[in-house]
Amino acid sequence: MKATKTDELLDLLEIIHKTCINKEPTHLTCDSEDIQAPYMFGLYSIVVELTGDSYHAIKSRKELASHVLTRALLEAVVVLCNVINDPNYVKIHFQKSLAKGKKPLEYLRDNPDLIDKKRHTVKDIQDLLDKGAKLRDQEPTKSYIVDDFKNADMEKYYYTRYAFLCNYSHHNAKVIINRPLGLNVRPLDEKSTQRLAHWIIDLILKASIAVHEFLKTGQSNIFEDLQQKWQATFCGTPFE
């Protein structure tokens, strides 16, 4: 039986995912003070894993799992791009998380690098205590998520794909709560399967190219070639 367009699209997604695994950087050398690269490396591993989970979900036509996993993948790629674009992104968020819930003196004790050894006045120490209190009282999640999309150069994804996936998840959650027990879950239809496959391919290629360029592995061209193949074969127009 002749393969359908959906089958070809899923086959390409599988190839891309396997390439990500085979070409995933396994050795990371960075300065001991550098927290950007290790976080980027860990996030990319999560992105690759979510890509595989999303692929299996849409291949099995699992409607809810496919949308939820694609949303998680999109969020992970946004954070990954923020980490790559801004060296201070991890430090700021990590520092806020450490500060929250700690007493001021505990925060200073655990972060001696914040104290300038040349300053010993009461006002200086009070300023540092106030700084710790300000960080402690500021939730890392208070920033609007749309800003994260903007800073990742992915603002258009927020108003199209992310909005769609969030609306779907919210609607589907209400359906699940109110449906009779034992009712079969609707399978993923053909159009939705193709749409999500396009989105997943776009995200994993974007992430892979960015990571390999950041680490200077010399392998970003492999993913650029896959990107060109995807665009040439499927017109390069992801479903919006």
pLDDT tens by residue, 121-176: 455 556 655 665 665 555 444 457 888 999 999 999 999 999 899 887 665 555 55
Find out whether 40 and 32 touch, Cβ atoms under 8 Å: no
Domain contains 239: no
Angle at 49 between CA 210 and CA 55, to 5 degrees: 100
* Residue 115 main-chain phi, psi, to 5 deg: -95, 120
Pair (203, 95) in one structural domain: yes
- pLDDT per residue as tens digits for the range 56-106: 999 999 988 899 899 999 999 999 999 999 888 887 776 655 555 555 555
Q: What pLDDT does residue 230 have?
A: 94
Q: Residue 222 belongs to what domain range?
A: 5-100+144-233
Pair (173, 191) in one structural domain: yes
What tokens appear for 148 in the block?
Answer: 């994260």
Pair (80, 116) in one structural domain: no
Nearest by Cα to 49 from 79, 19, 67, 73 = 73
Q: What is the pTM of this model?
A: 0.75
